[in-house]
Amino acid sequence: MTRPHVLILHVGGTIGMRRTPSGYGTHPGHLAELLQSMPELQRPELPAWDLHEFDPLLDSAEMTPDDWLRIAETLVGRQNDYDGFVVLHGTDTMAYTAAALDRLLLGVHKPVVLTGSQIPLFEVRNDARENLINALTFAATPDLHEVCIAFDDVLLRASTATKVSSFDLHAFDAPNAAPLAHIGVNVRWTRPPTGGAQGPMHLRPHERRRVLSVRLYPGLTADMLTNVLQDPIDALILEMYGAGNGPRDPDLLAALEAAHARGVRLVAVSQTPSGGVNLADYETGQAYARVGVESWGRATTEAALAALTLSDKEQTLMLEPSHEAS
């Protein structure tokens, strides 16, 4: 059997950073040198791999939707040369990129596995080696036809993941969905990969939209909201309380209604990490539904942001309609 061949796409992030006088920073060629010095990466249990480094390498805090597109276009362009892909990415916006790639890429018939680390690979004690080896293994799993994040002890579906810690090595989780797999002594699949997707991988036709995200909090006033909702804003993600509640402040509701009347799409997600919104549940939620706020169920802010930023022309969205859905 021929050894699978994986492309490691190095976008940036802590995993490949080195120490500089002003803190950790990216440096071209640094990760390539480190990888060459790791004999275990040549073992036959792992796929053969090539490294493609982005220019410039990015701290993921600096990424924009243009970078999501650049990654997606690279994956589409190289799909016939490899059996799977590892995307090495900073942790800060990895969940956004994962959700965006999941949204952008159609016909994903090979694994696309994002990973990174909390401690750079050059440090003696690091989580980078483990995460990279796990990601390479998943990228060589032939039936894993989706975009996912492999980090610490979990493999997560792209659109369910969120960064849950800036200090712990368990940095990602999907508080609202079962992981695809637990990575322990063995890999325990919750949803064994079934394959079957048809290629070729291609980009979803989309229109770029300008999206604003606002978290409700006691003290948010109508004039503050009106100020940030000035044109050109196409959509607002409202992170509501609990199951989809907010203050029944008539001025605040009027500000939302006015934005909606101007064509601003209003979308509710929950600010609780687990659960979701159903605006029908409470009077306080229904008041928001009446002014045009849509209930986006269990969607994470990252997934909602990716879906709205990369909107279909007709804006149909494949997300759960309510928190009743499993």
* Interface segment toward ligand ASP; rule CB under 6 A; list 9-17, 70-78, 150-158, 259-267: 9-17
Cβ proximity to ligand ASP: between 73 and 168 the closer is: 168
Helices 301-309 and 94-104, axial angle in degrees (round to 10): 40
Known catalytic residue at 14: yes
Residue ranges with strand state E in the chain: 5-12, 18-20, 23-25, 48-58, 84-88, 105-106, 112-115, 147-151, 154-157, 162-163, 172-173, 181-183, 187-189, 202-203, 207-208, 211-215, 235-240, 265-270, 293-295, 310-311
Question: By rule CB under 6 A, what count of residues binds ligand ASP?
Answer: 11
* Interface segment toward ligand ASP; rule CB under 6 A; list 56-64, 227-235, 237-245, 299-307: 56-64
Q: Which of the residues 85 through 104 are near ligand ASP (CB under 6 A)?
A: 90-92
Instruction: Pick from 16, 65, 111, 116 the residue near ligand ASP by CB under 6 A.
Output: 116
Residue 38 Cβ vs ligand ASP, minimum distance, rounded to whole Å: 19
Cβ proximity to ligand ASP: between 12 and 276 the closer is: 12
Task: Give the number of other Cβ atoms within 10 Å of residue 224's Cβ.
Answer: 13
Which residue is listed with tokens 């900073």? 90
> To 10 degrees, the CA torsion angle through 41, 42, 48, 51?
50
Examine residue 120 and tell whether it contacts ligand ASP (CB under 6 A): no
Instruction: Pick from 4, 13, 179, 244 the residue near ligand ASP by CB under 6 A.
Output: 13
Cβ proximity to ligand ASP: between 79 and 118 the closer is: 118
Residue 32's φ and ψ, nearest 5 degrees, are -55, -40
Examine residue 131 and tell whether it contacts ligand ASP (CB under 6 A): no
What length does the chain have?
326
Site string for ligand ASP, 169-208 (x = CB under 6 A): ----------------------------------------
Which residue of the chain is nearest ligand ASP when measured via CB? 90
Q: Is the dihedral of CA 163, 165, 168, 170 positive or negative?
A: negative
Examine residue 118 and tell whether it contacts ligand ASP (CB under 6 A): yes
Residue 89 Cβ vs ligand ASP, minimum distance, rounded to whole Å: 7
Helix, strand, coil share of the chain (percent; to 5): 30, 25, 45
Structure-block tokens of residue 57: 């390498």
Q: In this structure, what DSSP letter does residue 15 have?
A: G
Cβ proximity to ligand ASP: between 164 and 319 the closer is: 164
Residue 252 Cβ vs ligand ASP, minimum distance, rounded to whole Å: 34
Structure-block tokens of residue 58: 């990015």
- Beta pairing partners, 203: 105
Cβ proximity to ligand ASP: between 119 and 187 the closer is: 119
Catalytic residues: 14
Q: What is the binding site for ligand ASP (CB under 6 A)?
A: 12-14, 59-61, 90-92, 116, 118
